[in-house]
Structure 1
Amino acid sequence: MNAYSRLFAALGFGLLACSVHAAEVTIAVAANFTAPMKEIAEAFEQDTGHTVRTSLGPTGALYTQIKNGAPFEVFLSADDSTPARLESEGDVVEGSRFTYAVGKLVLWSPREDYVDDEGAVLAAGDYRYLSVANPKLAPYGLAAAQVLEKLGLTETVRPKLVEGSNIVQTYQFIATGNAELGFVALSQVYKDGAISSGSAWNVPAEMHDPIRQDAVVLKRGAENPAAAALADYLKGDRAQAIIRSYGYEI
């Protein structure tokens, strides 16, 4: 075998070794984490050689899919109670649950100078529609309902509510003008230290239950090295930098 043949043989062996060790992981991701997960998945694939297949949706709906046998191996929830429930029901790899992000709620409008920095626009009522996510399916919707209750506005705004099935649909209702304003995840309107467009009130954390977002490796992913690798990657510096850039806390 000449030098060129040996070189090509070595390269071929290296590629084969990579293909043997690379794997695909199928994950379920809460809708509020869409943008950061896209960046994290790209970085993870570059750094590890594994590939990621992502399914997005409201936490409640993803839980139902998992219980009905959906082929998810890792679950990134928008709360901590749903992964804990799956853990208690025996659907999770023992010891795999951890908080990957703490979310923040904002009242947002695409209109400049429309939402004041104390949220007084809510009580003023100078709007036709207020969009929120379904509180039974989406943790950010539940947090929004808690804020309205704390402000004593639940009944006042009820006729004006436009409910999204998840936080992405809620954002779309507002962005397209079907509602003048609404409660969304900060990550949807924030990047690298600032609100990306419009105006917003950063809701004080004490006005609603903490939005701790937990991740778990599901039993279906117990033997998949890519599932364990992704869980570890979420705890690493590169992923955490991306998470923080969207306004989440770690």
Structure 2
Amino acid sequence: MKSNVFKNLQRKARNWKKWSALAIVSVVFSSATWADILNVAVASNFASLMPSIVKGFEAQTSHKVRVSYGSSGKIYAQIRHGAPFDVFLSADQDKPNRLIAESLAVRDSQFTYAQGQLALFAPRLTDESNTPKQIVMSQKFNKLAIANPKLAPYGAAAEQVIRALVQNGSLTEQIQTKLVTGENINQTYQYVVSGNAELGFVALSQVTNQPSNTVWKVPTRLYSPIKQDAVIVESSRHLDAAKQFTDYLKAPSVKEVIEAHGYLSP
């Protein structure tokens, strides 16, 4: 009798060890698969905000985020050619619209996360008698930097502003000869900071900490709204995590951060 009891206890102990081992393996496997690494492609104008946004998201979830920056047009082309992005934060609505039309983005994932504002930045030419706006209209400069209008929405907006300010075909052509074109808005900003251009049209978010006399906040009536949309890429292998990230961008606390950096509420 004692022998049978002992054998039963041994059998139960072996079974307990087996199921415990399976449970440990299951927990480890679940943890490894649940924590995803998201590849997020972001328009260059939004670069200054992403570190704090990523930090907050990673603290709230177990996911990690890798960020790639570039012009919206270039990122769009990369996604079309199979770049392994999970989420795309564009500087316009056009590129996300196209991706959805081409079945390359999740149809119901598109939303406006920010509305950008344009600024004219002239750190070296301005004084009390010359505002950045007056400098452009007087053409007392050698080089004016703008982002590539074909790739960057801020560049297209800059072209609209130049036409609205000058309102003269020949003068517009003269200004065209003085343009330095950046591939994206970050490169455009660097042209001005480095002195390769005396002034430039940049994102307001890039110059919020600059002296007020060096920055002209361009009235929004002079250019089409720069509504910036996000989408989840259709080929993403981490759709649940991607949805968590886009939902996080809609949180009131994140919206406050976005507005504090020179963007308008969507």
TM over 0.5: yes
Alignment-derived partner of residue 5 in structure 1: none
Distance 1:181 1:228, change over 3 A: same
* 1:73 and 2:86 correspond: yes
Q: Mapping of 1:40-189 within 5 angstroms?
A: 40-111=53-124, 113-114=126-127, 119-152=133-166, 153-189=171-207
The residue type paired with residue 44 of structure 1 is: F
Answer with 1 or 2: which has the greater Rg: 2
Structure 1 segments unaligned to the other structure (5+ residues): 1-11
When normalised by structure 2's length, the TM-score is 0.83
Cα deviation, 1:88-114, whole Å, max 9, x if unaligned, reads 111111210000000000000223844
Checking the alignment, whether the CA contact within 8 Å between 2:125 and 2:198 is kept in structure 1 is no
Structure 2 segments unaligned to the other structure (5+ residues): 1-24
Alignment-derived partner of residue 200 in structure 1: 215
Distance 1:86 1:206, change over 3 A: same
RMSD: 2.5
Cα deviation, 1:63-110, whole Å, max 9, x if unaligned, reads 100000000110000001110111111111121000000000000022
Checking the alignment, whether the CA contact within 8 Å between 1:110 and 1:197 is kept in structure 2 is no
Identity %: 44
Checking the alignment, whether the CA contact within 8 Å between 1:189 and 1:197 is kept in structure 2 is no
Distance 1:45 1:112, change over 3 A: farther
Checking the alignment, whether the CA contact within 8 Å between 1:24 and 1:52 is kept in structure 2 is yes
Cα deviation, 1:202-230, whole Å, max 9, x if unaligned, reads 00101011000000011122653221110
Question: Shift in Å at residue 126 of structure 1?
Answer: 1.6
Question: CA separation in 1, counterparts of 2:74 and 2:107?
Answer: 23
Question: CA separation in 2, counterparts of 1:48 and 1:19?
Answer: 13
Alignment-derived partner of residue 247 in structure 1: 262
SS at match of 1:35: coil
Checking the alignment, whether the CA contact within 8 Å between 1:93 and 1:222 is kept in structure 2 is no
Checking the alignment, whether the CA contact within 8 Å between 2:144 and 2:179 is kept in structure 1 is yes
Question: Shift in Å at residue 37 of structure 1?
Answer: 1.4
Checking the alignment, whether the CA contact within 8 Å between 1:27 and 1:52 is kept in structure 2 is yes
SS at match of 1:219: coil
Question: Shift in Å at residue 117 of structure 1?
Answer: 5.4
Cα deviation, 1:109-137, whole Å, max 9, x if unaligned, reads 22384495571211112211110111001
